[in-house]
Amino acid sequence: MSKATLPRRLRLVAVLGTVSATVLTALAVTTTANAADDARAATTFEDNFDGPAGAAVDGAKWVTETGDNVSNHERQYYTNSTSNAALDGRGNLVITARRENPANYQCWYGTCEYTSARLNTSGRFTQTYGHYEARLRMSRGQGMWPAFWMLGNDIGSAGWPQCGEIDIMENVGFEPSQVHGTIHGPGYSGSGGIGAGYSVGGAFADDFHTFAVDWSPDRIVWSVDGNVYQTRTPADLNGNQWVFDKPFFLILNLAVGGYWPGDPDGGTPFPNTLVVDYVRVTDTPEH
């Protein structure tokens, strides 16, 4: 029996209609998936550092610490001055280390030689698990020690390292093309911290890069510019306690000197800056 056949023009319309329906279905599925992703990953903290040049950071989001740091033998005094931490009017926070002592600050080694800034979200924002990232342009030079990191919110009662520490990004000036991601806790702290490094072809100070961790109950994943380079789980701790199961707060700072980076030398430029484009946290890990 012969099969009924549509005229060529009607067949073309029918085919196009089928293709259009397929495309629309695909778009609908993609849109639904994206909406589901957005619903799963809610932004819980964000600072894009918008504001006039010279303005201080948002005090509702950040605490500006003051004092020196004898535990690491750092050389700077952290101030709450906009000379050391201020918006640049172009959507960035600039943390500036200076070779100066305008107020006769006293450090563990005597009269302080440098000033800088250290900001944290303690009492403003804490979170357990999620995706944490910042886009930064690094400082440059021997003795500089920029960091984006987190501490357990119970540091006041538990102390360090029992509170836990997650170093999302650290750089020491004598390694301009490498950053480090590390965890510290009881039995694996200080030089015994557990971590890895990530390198690029040039210096991190040459451009902005995005540094992130994805923190889940049983693992922490580090990435640079979306490239995963390290995963840590309780199995990596040699039987020591996994303390990454409670709220942590964020820290941004630019240290000068210390046990790890060593002191600045004659080639270290001052003022020296850590530029932060944004800090963003969501409630859902991406990896």
Tell the burial category of 241 from Cβ atoms under 10 Å away from its Cβ (0-12, 13-18, 19+). middle
Among the listed residues 120, 130, 144, the one whose alpha carbon sits nearest the alpha carbon of residue 62: 120
For the chain, helix (H) and strand (E) counts, in that order, are 2, 19
What CATH class has 43-282?
mainly beta
The angle at the Cα of 267, spanning 266 to 268, to the nearest 5 degrees, equals 95
Q: What pLDDT, in 10s, does the model give residues 202-258? A: 999 999 999 999 999 999 999 999 999 999 999 999 999 999 999 999 999 999 999
Residue with structure tokens 């484009």?
277
Whole-model pTM? Answer: 0.87
pLDDT digits (tens, 9 = 90+) for 189-200: 999 999 999 999
The active-site residue out of 65, 113, 170, 286 is: 170
Active site residue 113: no
Interacting residues of 189 by C-beta distance below 8 A, sequence separation 6+: 160, 161, 165
Distance CA 97, CA 117 (A): 7
- Active-site residue, selected from the candidate residues 74, 133, 165, 286: 165
Provide the residue ranges of all domains of the chain, joining segments of one domain with +: 1-40, 43-282
165 is catalytic: yes
